[in-house]
């Protein structure tokens, strides 16, 4: 038990005592981890257990898209869908429980505004939802399908991979289902356990023909979602569910698009490149600050945004500059998308690398129920990885 503890905190903080692992030591371990993040000092044990592993860092207010309004992630999604239904008369939104607003309130008010033939519920059948969506898209209408949790997307996997992705290719460009967009809540949420926390982007990254997009906040979400809807290819849009309420930003009310397949450099740096997407970006930003303060290391933070097809150029250019790369995601490490990035970067930038590419990801286990705080790649593990790369 003590050995396991040492794995997690080796070198990170010598002030922690690793005496044993009963309830007492666990809570002091957890407390010590959290004591070091600001504003977590005086809480009860139950409250400490539930503090999240990141602090949301909002984007600066965008000025080029017109007037803005304070929105959180689910409201920005509603705004994007509202814009779409208003401008595109063929657009339809469907999924489980979308009519009353959806389990995460992403479609609130749309049915009342646009009618029940444009925003409607489907029965409980993911395979049916996506198959039906493909049909709607092929016939020419804009289909926005919602899968209630990304963990439930697997019955639809066959439809997505075998039908949607290959439609244009197999018909020689005669037919396509580019009008299809699939939205699904994604990622860990603190208490989701096995079937409400998964990040399946790697499964779909292996499939040419579809696009996979993951935003980091409300401004990005609205722009990227509108891009996905207008994109002439079937797109899967994963929304980090932990950010639905936690992420609040000033979001433009008018429609605007953010280009797909373009990674965004959030912070320039010269020593290490950090690549992540979705919720993990906010962890990386904290890591970048910590690395600057404690290690004097300047980090360049890149949000990949589009997983497939991904922006190899931005990432490689950055690695050529810094020489070190750290990629982080919540999904298990084996076969996770970090493997693809790592492999491509070593091909392109082999001689520029100062240290092996580091991947800080989830363990190769199913997403655990009670062990979630130990499973996720938090800022301490990332900082540790940076240290090792610097001292290589």
Identify which of residues 66 and 356 has a Cβ nearer to other proteins in the complex: 356
> Binding of other proteins at residue 362 (CB under 8 A)?
yes
Q: Are 108 and 101 in contact (CB under 8 A)?
A: yes
> Binding of other proteins at residue 14 (CB under 8 A)?
no
Residues in the chain: 392
Nearest by Cα to 223 from 387, 59, 19, 34 = 59
Q: What does the per-residue mask of binding to other proteins show for 72-101, with x meaning CB under 8 A? A: ------------------------xx--x-
Identify which of residues 2 and 61 has a Cβ nearer to other proteins in the complex: 2
Q: Pairing state of beta strands 211-213 and 306-308?
A: antiparallel
Tell me which of 314, 375, 379, 383 binds other proteins, using CB under 8 A.
Answer: 375
> Binding of other proteins at residue 157 (CB under 8 A)?
no
Query: Nearest distance from residue 219's CB to other proteins, in Å?
Result: 27
> Binding of other proteins at residue 125 (CB under 8 A)?
yes
- At CA 12, angle to CA 6 and CA 17, rounded to 5? 55
Tell me which of 41, 195, 245, 254 binds other proteins, using CB under 8 A.
Answer: 195
Q: In which region does residue 203 sit, left (phi positive, over 0), alpha (psi from -120 to 50) or beta (all else)?
A: alpha
Query: Nearest distance from residue 45's CB to other proteins, in Å?
Result: 11
Choices 1-9, 31-39, 202-210, 279-287; region in contact with other proteins by CB under 8 A? 1-9
Q: In which region does residue 278 sit, left (phi positive, over 0), alpha (psi from -120 to 50) or beta (all else)?
A: left
> Binding of other proteins at residue 133 (CB under 8 A)?
no
SS3 call for 293: helix
DSSP label of 62 = P
For other proteins, the binding residues in 26-65 under the rule CB under 8 A are 26, 46, 50
> Binding of other proteins at residue 240 (CB under 8 A)?
no
> Binding of other proteins at residue 285 (CB under 8 A)?
no
DSSP label of 356 = -
Q: List the catalytic residues.
A: 126, 196
Q: Which regions of the chain does DSSP assign to beta strands (E)?
A: 68-72, 92-95, 119-121, 143-146, 180-186, 211-213, 235-240, 248-252, 264-267, 272-276, 299-303, 306-308, 325-332, 358-362
Binding site for other proteins (CB under 8 A): 1, 4-5, 7-8, 10, 21-23, 26, 46, 50, 96-97, 100, 103, 121, 123-125, 127-128, 151-152, 154-155, 191-196, 333-334, 358-366, 368-371, 374-375, 377, 381, 384-385, 388
């Amino acid at each position: 038990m003590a050995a396991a503890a040492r794995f997690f905190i080796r070198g990170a903080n010598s002030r922690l005592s690793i005496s044993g692992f009963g309830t007492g030591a666990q809570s002091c371990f957890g407390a010590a981890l959290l004591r070091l993040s600001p504003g977590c000092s005086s809480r009860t044990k139950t409250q400490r257990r539930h503090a999240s592993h990141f602090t949301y860092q909002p984007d600066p207010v965008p000025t080029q898209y017109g007037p803005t309004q304070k929105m959180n992630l689910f409201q920005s999604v509603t705004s994007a869908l509202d814009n779409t239904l208003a401008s595109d008369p063929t657009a339809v939104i469907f999924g489980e429980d979308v009519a009353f607003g959806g389990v995460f309130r992403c479609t609130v008010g749309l049915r009342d505004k646009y009618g029940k033939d444009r925003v409607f519920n489907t029965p409980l059948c993911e395979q049916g939802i996506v198959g039906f969506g493909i049909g709607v898209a092929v016939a020419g209408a804009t289909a926005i399908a919602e899968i209630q949790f990304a963990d439930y997307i697997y019955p639809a996997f066959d439809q997505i991979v075998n039908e949607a992705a290959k439609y244009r290719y197999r018909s020689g460009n005669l037919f396509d289902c580019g009008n299809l967009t699939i939205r699904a809540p994604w990622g860990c949420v603190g208490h989701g356990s096995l079937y409400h926390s998964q990040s399946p982007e790697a499964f779909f990254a292996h499939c040419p023909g579809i696009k996979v997009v993951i935003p980091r906040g409300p401004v990005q979400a609205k722009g990227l979602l509108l891009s996905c809807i207008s994109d002439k290819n079937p797109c899967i849009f994963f929304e980090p569910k932990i950010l639905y309420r936690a992420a609040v930003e000033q979001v433009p009310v008018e429609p605007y698009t953010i280009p797909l397949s373009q990674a965004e450099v959030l912070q320039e740096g010269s020593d290490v490149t950090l690549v992540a997407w979705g919720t993990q970006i906010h962890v990386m930003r904290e890591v970048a600050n910590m690395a600057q303060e404690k290690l004097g290391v300047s980090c360049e933070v890149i949000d990949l945004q589009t997983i497939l097809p991904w922006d190899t150029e931005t990432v490689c250019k950055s690695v050529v500059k810094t020489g070190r790369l750290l990629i982080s995601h919540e999904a298990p490490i084996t076969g996770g998308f970090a493997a693809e990035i790592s492999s491509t970067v070593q091909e392109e930038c082999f001689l520029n690398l100062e240290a092996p590419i580091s991947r800080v990801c989830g363990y190769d286990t199913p997403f655990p129920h009670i062990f979630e705080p130990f499973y996720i790649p938090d800022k301490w593990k990332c900082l540790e990885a940076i240290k090792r790369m610097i001292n290589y």
